[in-house]
Every structure is written in structure tokens, then in C-alpha cells.
Structure 1
């Protein structure tokens, strides 16, 4: 058989192999090989399955359209969701919140409100300070020293404080030390308050020394620069004690 009468594939094999080998390869691997025209195509479907899939897809799209998307941070700021309305900028409105916070912090501290120490410091580091009455005792900006009021917003980098003059002050945490006074119990003095010497200091706060023994007050200070976390993040964060050269 001449090369012109041979199939193209067999002619190509004859160039690389002997005639017997070329015939064997062509017969075993090419001539009787099954040719799959569409091996990866899905099986044919009927109209009923197509309609069912179309209904499911339409239902999923409808559910997705009915579910409202959460607002982005930019949209929330644009709508003023974080702004305190003018009629709400009154110190008297937040005094009940401060009373609730005092009960909350006393419950967290327990008996450590009289002794302080590392246990109290760890609890204060993870506490929420919305409603706490704070006072700026040290700051890189001298004009901020002396600001005192109730915390109405505790964000990552700032405290928003409302003063007794019904003014909202935004105080950055960086470079600022805040003092907080917690009465040991309403209308009752307790010995061994946090005014004793040896107040604990760590990277988040230091227990300040009170003016004298038997004052019945637990006084501590927050180092704002080491406190730049959101309340939700502080609740699960474990702080490590280390030396702070700024103190």
C-alpha cells in the first residue's frame, strides 16, 4: 500500500517506526479507539428541570433583595448616627448612666476594690468605660488638663466626655492620663481603699494613691496611650506587663 492510499495518521507513524510497529500502533491505539466528542458536557436536561432551577434562582434573588445590606462606616457618619443631638447634650441625662456604671465596676472588682493589685488591674483593662466619670490629669496638650465629665463614647483613639457645663469634649487617648474615682460603697467609708501605697501599674492603668487612708474610694489612672482599643476588643485581649519609660 502506497503512502498516498494510507491514512494520514498511519503515514506519520510509518516515518518514525518500522512497518510492523506502525501497523500495530495504528490498529491498537488509533483505529479502534473510542472518540468522545463531548466528554465533559452535562447530561441533557428536560424542560421540567430547567423550570425548577429557574424558580429556585428567582427565589434566591428575591430573598437577597429583601435582606437589607448593613450600612458602611462612611454611610453611618454621613447620616450622623454617631452624633449626639443638641437636646441630648446635657450632663443630667447621663448621671443615671454613671450610677449604673458605678454598680457595674463595683461588681467586677468585688473585694479587690479595697486592695487593688494585679487582679484589679486585669479586670479594669477589660472593663467598659461608658458612663465612667474621668478627669484628665496629664496630657501632651496643657489645655486639656482638668477636663472632667462622664464618658459618653469610648472609641479606639478618643474619649468623648460631657462636662457639667453641658459641653462635649473629644479627648485623644494618646499622650493623656485619665483619673477615675470609684466610691467603695454609696454613703459608706471602707478601710483599705485603693489610696494605700503600692498601687499597681501596668501598660493600661496605674492605681493612684488617694489623699489619705480610710477615704472609702478606689482611685486609679488610665494610661490612654496604652488603652487605644475598642471596648469589644479589650474584653478578649490579654495585656502583658512591661516597663513603660514614659511614666
Structure 2
């Protein structure tokens, strides 16, 4: 107890000495009693410093990622999408007239992809068609290992990995496997106004797809390089 009183008196004398350098004795006593002696000291509790700063930053980063992941919804899996019927065409939409505008959009798309090769064909056109998307194309089954499929015509509404889903003019959806099937597609040339086109220019650009070589999704075909192979079934 005596040591505390001694320390307080020492601190008081040092404070008075410092204040006396700039103020009169009366001002020193007043300033000390008003602003120093009875001034409350507010203490704020602080957390103890982490034992390892790197671990503390890592834990903070992991916690932040966990909170963001909890707020972000997870994408649906393929099984969940099939269960919800997201891939199915509703009964009200199973009409050929609904997909005719899609066919017109596809014709504009494939003409832009082919460019001048729409009239010449060749290996350049084959390479572009191999990577093209056929959603909206009007196709016809020209040959198939199953004779009942030959002659099916319609617009492709789904270009899946192993099948083409086609809607016919009778508003029927046909699922045609690509394996063992050949599809014929015709692309009419653009009719230009105020020009007289020759008979050769008016012919549509017709080609056939070998379904055995097209057993890929349209998104996967975009970056795939096809190599020529000998086809035994031809």
C-alpha cells in the first residue's frame, strides 16, 4: 500500500513539474484536478492475439468462403433436371408450327457458318458441318438399320448425344437414335431480289449426316476435330 502511495505522489510531482513549464501555479493545480486527477479511464476489452497469424488468415478465408457457398444455390444435377422434366416439351408446345421459326433461325445460322461453301461444298463445308449445331434443322431419315425409321421428317428439337428428337408435321415427337441412321438435310440458297439466278444457284445444298459419327453433344462437337475413317457400313 505504501509503495502505491509513493508511486502516486511521484507521478503527481512529475505532472505538476511538466505543467508548470507552460502554466502558472494556480493554473497547474486547476488543470491537474479538472482534467487529469479525476478523469475516468475507459478500457476496451481486446481479444488475445492469435498464436499464428497465417493460421488466423486461413481460418478467416475459409469461413468467408463457407458463408458465400451457403448463400449461393447449388446447380441442379442432370438427374434432378430430368426428374423435374426440364428436358421434356410440354403437351401445349408439341406443335410443328411452334418450331418453324426455329428452323428459319437455323437456316440463317448455317448459311452464315458455310459462307461461300454453301454453293461449292467440299472438305471445308464438311469440317464446318461437323462442328455445327443442329437444333432447328429440318431433317429426313434417308437410311437406317431399322426400316420403320426411314422417311421420318421433321425439325430437330433436341440434339442429344445418342439421339435426335424430331417433331413431325403431324405434331408428333419422334426419338430417332443416331446409331445406324443417316439423316439428309437440305439448305436452300438465299433468294436475292432483282437478280436472275441460274438453275445451278437455285439448287439447295443437300448433305447427309452419318449418325454413327455424330454421337456427341452439340457443345462437345464444337471443339472436336473429326478425322476421316473407313466406314464399313457404307
State the TM-score, normalizing by the size of structure 2. 0.71
List gaps (5 residues or longer) in structure 1.
1-45, 193-212
Q: Which moved more, 1:54-63 or 1:139-148?
A: 54-63
2:102 to 97, 105, 108: 97
| Contact 2:141 2:152 survives alignment (8 Å) | yes
2:86 aligned with 1:81, yes or no? yes
Residue 178 and residue 108 in structure 1: after superposition, are their counterparts in 2 closer, same or farther (change >3 A)? same
CA distance in 2, matches of 1:85, 1:169: 14
| Contact 2:119 2:201 survives alignment (8 Å) | no
Structure with greater Cα Rg? 2
Shift of 1:49: 3.0
Residue 115 and residue 60 in structure 1: after superposition, are their counterparts in 2 closer, same or farther (change >3 A)? closer
Shift of 1:243: 2.1
| Contact 1:154 1:231 survives alignment (8 Å) | yes
CA distance in 2, matches of 1:224, 1:57: 48
CA distance in 2, matches of 1:191, 1:245: 38
1:229 to 210, 216, 221: 216
1:115 to 120, 124, 128: 120
CA distance in 2, matches of 1:218, 1:191: 15
Shift of 1:214: 5.6
* Corresponding pairs, count: 182
| Contact 1:114 1:191 survives alignment (8 Å) | no
2:129 to 93, 115, 124: 124
Residue 124 and residue 62 in structure 1: after superposition, are their counterparts in 2 closer, same or farther (change >3 A)? same
CA distance in 2, matches of 1:141, 1:191: 39
The structure carrying a bigger helix percent of its residues is: 2
1:136 to 132, 136, 141: 141
| Contact 2:189 2:201 survives alignment (8 Å) | no
Give the equivalent residue in structure 2 for 1:20: none
| Contact 1:114 1:190 survives alignment (8 Å) | no
1:106 to 105, 111, 117: 111
CA distance in 1, matches of 2:222, 2:61: 43
| Contact 1:179 1:221 survives alignment (8 Å) | yes
List gaps (5 residues or longer) in structure 2.
1-46
1:174 to 151, 160, 179: 179
2:50 aligned with 1:49, yes or no? yes
Residue 55 and residue 245 in structure 1: after superposition, are their counterparts in 2 closer, same or farther (change >3 A)? closer
Give the equivalent residue in structure 1 for 2:188: 183
2:223 aligned with 1:243, yes or no? no
CA distance in 1, matches of 2:192, 2:97: 21
Pairwise CA RMSD of aligned residues? 2.3
> Secondary structure at the residue paired with 1:151?
strand
